[in-house]
């Protein structure tokens, strides 16, 4: 498997899923240099001072992934993406059709646009409920091909589908894999299509997104360091 040239420590993206920005800052300070890349999602956006937190992280030389899954008329999505330019945002997500992805890609500037394929909280039964008459893998591949055609920089995909992405989709696409569970998945967990750290990278992921296994650990910094150690071994980093 040919992997892109990415710093080993940047391959871990921590999902900062906490109720407010004060807690987010405290957790980032606890994590220190064990995490270099943060994903900021909807919960923090709705808590207030989302962009204050974003700028605070960037000022501390952290990379930021804006995970707001833009879905609206193309002109509105393009306008939203333009507001992210030139402020240190590495990635932003879109979750729309072809015209939405094309609008986001055209407006991206220095922001990498990631298209969501199929949420890792969904399985075959959920797709039936949504009216998709195809299996998960088929839908992921279709979404990834369309993302590439639209000018997106990468996709969000479960590690379970990553091998097929690498086999059938251009290797230029970044593959960011959520649903990482370094330990056994708990019954209350809403993630259904999960993989381990090692499996995600063996299957072709460029980055992994990890949230609860770090956030809910007795010592989040130690948990993050453990994952970083695993990643370093996978890539032979010192």
Q: Summarize pLDDT for 92-113 with one digit per residue, the tens.
A: 999 888 999 999 999 999 999 9
Q: How confident is the model at residue 187 (pLDDT cuts 50, 70, 90)?
A: very low
Residue 128, Cβ density class (10 Å: 0-12 exposed, 13-18 middle, ≥19 buried): exposed
User: Quick one: CA torsion of 65, 71, 73, 78, rounded to 10 degrees?
Assistant: 10
Q: What was the pLDDT predicted at 1? A: 55
Q: What was the pLDDT predicted at 190? A: 46
Once rounded to an integer, what is the mean pLDDT over residues 65-90? 97
Query: Is the model more confident about 1 or about 109?
Result: 109
pLDDT at 170 over 80: no
Q: How confident is the model at residue 119 (pLDDT cuts 50, 70, 90)?
A: low
| Nearest-5° Cα angle at 99, 98 to 101 | 65
Q: Which CATH number fits domain 8-235: 3.40.50.2300, 3.40.50.1470, 3.20.20.70, 3.40.630.30?
A: 3.20.20.70
Which of 75-84, 113-122, 133-142, 172-181 reaches the highest mean pLDDT? Answer: 75-84
Once rounded to an integer, what is the mean pLDDT over residues 33-39? 98
Q: What was the pLDDT predicted at 168? A: 80
Q: What was the pLDDT predicted at 6? A: 94
For residue range 5-16, list pLDDT tens digits in order.
899 999 999 999
Once rounded to an integer, what is the mean pLDDT over residues 20-39? 98
Query: Is the model more confident about 64 or about 190?
Result: 64
Q: What was the pLDDT predicted at 129? A: 58
Residue 63 is a catalytic residue: no
For residue range 130-160, list pLDDT tens digits in order.
455 556 667 778 888 889 999 999 998 887 8
Query: Is the model more confident about 61 or about 182?
Result: 61
Q: Which of 69, 108, 192, 233 is catalytic?
A: 69
Q: At what angle do helices 98-106 and 74-82 cross, to 10 degrees?
A: 30
Q: Across the chain, what does the average pLDDT equal?
A: 87
Q: What was the pLDDT predicted at 193? A: 46
- β-strands 89-94, 37-40: how paired? unpaired
The whole-model pTM stands at 0.88
Once rounded to an integer, what is the mean pLDDT over residues 191-197? 68
Answer whether 163's CB lies under 8 Å from 140's CB: no
Q: How confident is the model at residue 125 (pLDDT cuts 50, 70, 90)?
A: low
Q: Can you tell me whether residue 151 is helix, strand or coil? A: coil
């Amino acid at each position: 498997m040919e992997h892109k040239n990415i710093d080993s420590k940047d391959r871990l993206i921590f999902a900062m899923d906490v109720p407010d920005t004060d807690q987010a800052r405290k957790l980032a300070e606890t994590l220190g240099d064990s995490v270099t890349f943060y994903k900021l999602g909807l919960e923090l956006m709705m808590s207030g001072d989302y962009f204050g937190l974003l700028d605070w992280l960037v000022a501390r030389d952290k990379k930021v992934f804006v995970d707001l899954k833009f879905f609206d008329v193309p002109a509105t999505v393009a306008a939203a993406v333009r507001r992210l330019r030139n402020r240190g945002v590495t990635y932003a997500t879109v979750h729309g059709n072809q015209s939405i992805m094309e609008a986001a890609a055209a407006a991206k500037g220095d922001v990498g646009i990631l298209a969501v394929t199929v949420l890792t909280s969904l399985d075959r039964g959920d797709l039936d409920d949504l009216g998709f008459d195809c299996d998960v893998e088929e839908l992921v591949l279709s979404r990834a091909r369309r993302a590439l055609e639209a000018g997106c920089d990468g996709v969000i995909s479960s590690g379970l589908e990553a091998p097929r992405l690498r086999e059938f989709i251009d290797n230029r696409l970044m593959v960011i894999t959520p649903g990482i569970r370094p330990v056994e998945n708990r019954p209350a967990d809403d993630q259904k299509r999960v993989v381990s750290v090692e499996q995600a990278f063996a299957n072709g992921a460029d980055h992994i997104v990890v949230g609860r296994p770090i956030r809910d650990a007795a010592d989040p910094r130690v948990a993050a360091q453990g994952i970083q150690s695993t990643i370093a071994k996978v890539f032979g980093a010192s």
